[in-house]
Structure 1
C-alpha cells in the first residue's frame, strides 16, 4: 500500500488518548484532531437538528433564519471522492466505506440518469425519430462505435452532469450534515477526455473547447473534496477485470492505450487534488481490507488549516459566520447560479462536433411534444400524467420546473431552456413532418 499525506497512525492516537476520548473529540496537546470516525463512534448532541428536506423544500433566503447550516456540521460532515481507472474496484470500495462511516453513497454518474425521464420515457427508444445530433450515446453505444462524431457531445454532457452531481454532494452535506462518498468528481473527468483524444475519438477543436470549459467551470464549485482515495491498479489488471465482465464492445474499446492514458493522466489529477485535498493512495491490484482503509481515514487530520501553510481545506475554512455558510448552502442547493456562471455564454460555433442545425432542433422539439411527452407542456405540468396543479409560485431563477430542486440540468431542465422558430409558429406542435429525417439526412 502506498499512502500520501498520512498524518499519524490510529494505534498511536488510541494509546495516547484518555479512555473514551475518541468518542468525545479528544484534544491532544493544544490541537484538536478533527478526523472522520466510524459511524459507531460518532456521537451527536441531543439537540442535533433533523436533516433538512432540501429535495422537496429547496433552500431559500427565507429558510435561512429558521435553519442554520453550521449547527449540522460534525467531524463526519466531509466529502470523500474515490478515484481510479476503469474496473479498478471503486464502486465496491465506495459502497463499503459509506456503510462503515455512515456516509451517503453517490455512485458514478451514468447516462441512464438523464436519458430516462420522470414519466418513464427512455429517450433512446425515440432515437430513430430524432435528428442524429440529438442521439447522445450512452456508454454501451459509445463502446460499439467510439469513432462516432457524437462521442464529443457525450463527453461534454458527462462533464456537465458530474458538475451537477458534485453540487448535489455539497448540498447534501450542508443540508443534512451527513458526509458523502462520491465516485469520481468533475475535477478528474479530464482523464477520459485525454484518453478519447489519444484514440482520436474526439477532435482537436472539441479537446481545446473541453479544457476551456473545464477551466471556467471548476472554480464555480468552490469547495474541493476533503479526502481523495485513489486506487492504483495496473492497466493489465484493469483489462483483466474488464474481460471478466464479458461485455464484448467494452473489451474492444477499452484497450491498453486508452487505459494507459487514463493512468498517466491521473498523475496530473492527483497533483491538482494535492493542492486542495488530502490524498490516500492504495495499491489495489488485489482489493485490500476495507477496515484498514477506514483506519487510515480515521488517522488523517481533515480539519487542521493555517493560512500561511498552503491551500488544503482553505475554502472549507474561509466562511466564518452563519450568513456566509447559508449563502453557500443556497448556492449549491439551487445549482442554477453555479451552472449559469460555469457554462452560459460559451460559444460552440467553432466546434463542429457540437454544432446543432436550427431546423434539426425544431424537429427534435416537435418529436418531444408529439411523440415523447404527447403534450405541449413541459415536465411537471401534465395533469394527464399525474402531475399536480402548479402555478406562478413555482417559478425559480433560471428554471420553471415546478420543483424547487433538480438533480441534473440535462435530466429535464434543459427542455425549459430550449426554443425554436417552430415553437413560435406552431406552439401546439401539430405540424410534425414525418418525412423530415428522410429529406434532410
Structure 2
C-alpha cells in the first residue's frame, strides 16, 4: 500500500534536456552557469571532473591545527550529500543502495548488524564464548531475535542496534566532510525507533525498556546532522513474507516475527511517524517496490529533486544550513572525526529501573573477565602480541 501523503511524483518534460552546471558539472566552454540544486547521476556528471584528493582523516585525524592547512568546503560538490535507503526487511535495500551509490559516485555503507559488536578487529567471533557466559549475557543477534523475540536480551539487542547505527552515521558524516564524497546508508539512527515501536506493540519489549530507549535517543540524536534525502522502498507485509520465504534462511523459517503482526506494526511506525517526521527536514521519495524497480529511473527522479538550501526559513536541511562559516564546518568536522568517543559517551544514561537492561554484578564481572581475555581483546588493535602484533606496548614488555 503506497503512502499517498508523502509519495513524490515527478513529471518529466518530453523532449527536454536539462542543463546542469556547477561544482560537480562545471561550465565547459559556455558563457553562463546555471545553479545546480540537485544530485547528479553519472549520465549528467562531467566526465572530466575530479574531486580534490581526500584528507587522510583515518590516519591523521582532524583538528584546529589541520584546519589552517586543509579547509572543508572546497571538496564539496552537488553529490556531497547523505542519502538513506529505508524499507521493511527483504525489500531489496542492499542491492538498491549499492547500485544507487555506484551511479551517484557515493560511498555505500551496508546495514548495521550485530557482527559489528561480536566480531573483533582480528576476526575472532565473541559468540564463541557463549558456553562460558552467564545466561543474561550470552550473545543475541538478529537470528536469535527471529527465533525467540520475547527473550530478555531483545531489549539489549535493540539498544545495541541503535548504538551501532549512531556510530555508523558519525562515520558517514566524517567521511563526507573529509573527502567530499556523499554516502548512501541502509537505514540509520533516525529511523531506528520504528523497530522499538513494533517490538512494544508485539510484546517483545517492555514499556520500561521503551522509556529507557527514548531517554538515550533524546540524549544522542541531536548530535547528528539529518540526512538530505530519504528513499523509502514500500513493500506490503504480505509481499515481505513471500520474499522472506523465498530466501529460505533457516532462522526465518517459521519465525514468530514474520508469522505474527510485527511487519504490520513496523509499516505503521514507518509511515505514520518516521516518514512524516523526516519529510519536514529532508527530501523524501517513496516507491512501490513490491516487484522491485529500475535504479536508473530512481536516479532520474533524484536529479529532479530540489536540494537548494538557500531559503533560511525552510526547515529542510536546517542542520546543514546552520553550518554557514568555515569555522563552523571545522568544528563539525573535528567533532565527527576526532571526538567520536565523546559522542558515544552520551549513551551513558543512568536508568536502573529496567530489569532486562541491567545485569547482576557477579555476572558482569564474569562477562568482563571472559571478554577482556578473548583473543585480540587485551589491548587495542596493533598491540596484541598473541595475535602477531608488534606495537609499542609489546616492544616495551619485551624489553
- TM-score by length of structure 2 reads 0.88
Between 1:258-267 and 1:353-362, the stretch displaced more is: 353-362
2:384 alignment partner in structure 1: 382
In the alignment, the residues of structure 1 paired with residue 50 and residue 102 of structure 2 have an alpha-carbon distance, to the nearest angstrom, of 24
CA distance in 1, matches of 2:83, 2:152: 34
**Cα distance in 2 between the residues matched to 1:18 and 1:179:** 18
8 Å CA contact 1:25, 1:33 repeated in 2: no
TM-fit CA distance, 1:187? 0.9
Deviation of 1:59 after TM superposition, in Å, equals: 1.8
Residue of structure 2 equivalent to 1:358: 361
Offset of 1:184 from its aligned partner?
0.2
Query: Deviation digits for residues 76-95 of structure 1, max 9, x if unmatched?
Result: 10111000111112111111
For the 8 Å contact 2:24–2:49, the answer to whether it is kept is no
Q: Does 1:298 align with 2:300?
A: no
Give unpaired runs (5+ residues) of structure 2.
Answer: 394-399
- Aligned 1:152-171 pairs, distance under 5 A: 152-171=155-174
CA deviation after TM superposition for structure 1 residue 236, in Å: 0.4
Q: How does 1:12-411 map to 2 (within 5 A)?
A: 14-15=16-17, 17=19, 23-24=25-26, 32-43=35-46, 48-221=51-224, 223-251=225-253, 252=255, 253-267=257-271, 268-308=273-313, 310-334=314-338, 335-340=340-345, 342-344=346-348, 346-370=349-373, 372-373=374-375, 377-390=379-392
CA offsets 1:369-426 (integer angstroms, 9 cap, x no match): 44x13875454422342334247xxxxxxxxxxxxxxxxxxxxxxxxxxxxxxxxxxx
> Offset at 1:17?
3.6
Q: Considering only aligned residues, what root-mean-square deviation do their CA atoms show, in Å? A: 2.9
Deviations 1:308-363 (A, max 9, x none): 2x3101211211221110110111123123222x323x113111111122222222
Deviation at 1:38, TM superposition (A): 1.4
**Matches of 1:228 and 1:205 in 2, distance apart?**
30
Tell me the distance in 2 between the aligned counterparts of 1:71 and 1:22. Answer: 12
Distance 1:325 1:99, change over 3 A: same
> Counterparts of 1:361 and 1:19 in 2: how far apart (Å)?
59
Partner secondary structure for residue 98 of structure 1: helix
2: distance between equivalents of 1:294 and 1:104?
Answer: 16
Q: Does the 8 Å CA contact 1:235/1:256 hold for their aligned counterparts?
A: no
Q: 1:18 to 1:280 in 2, by over 3 A?
A: closer
Further displaced range: 61-70 or 72-81: 61-70
Whole-Å separation in 2 of the counterparts to 1:390 and 1:254: 51
SS at match of 1:225: coil
Contact 1:278 1:312 in 2 (8 A): yes
- Larger deviation, residues 360-369 vs 320-329: 360-369
> What CA distance in whole angstroms lies between the structure 2 residues aligned with 1:304 and 1:13?
29
Question: Counterpart of 2:190 in 1: which secondary structure?
Answer: helix
CA distance in 1, matches of 2:75, 2:165: 25
- CA contact 1:106–1:183 (8 Å) conserved in 2: yes
More divergent stretch after superposition (192-201 vs 230-239): 192-201
Q: Which runs of 5+ in 1 are unaligned?
A: 392-441
Q: Report deviation, 1:156.
A: 0.4
**Total equivalences in the alignment:** 385
TM-score by length of 1: 0.80
| 1:387 partner SS | coil
Structure 1 residues 192 and 271: CA distance shift in structure 2, 3 A? same
1:174 Cα deviation (Å)?
0.6
> What SS does the aligned partner of 1:136 have?
coil
Distance 1:41 1:198 in 2: 46
Shift in Å at residue 137 of structure 1?
Answer: 0.6
Q: What's the secondary structure of 1:231's corresponding residue?
A: strand
- Change in 2 beyond 3 A, CA 1:232/1:20: same
CA contact (8 A) 2:106 2:182 kept: yes
Q: Residues of 1 paired with 2:198 and 2:180: CA distance?
A: 37
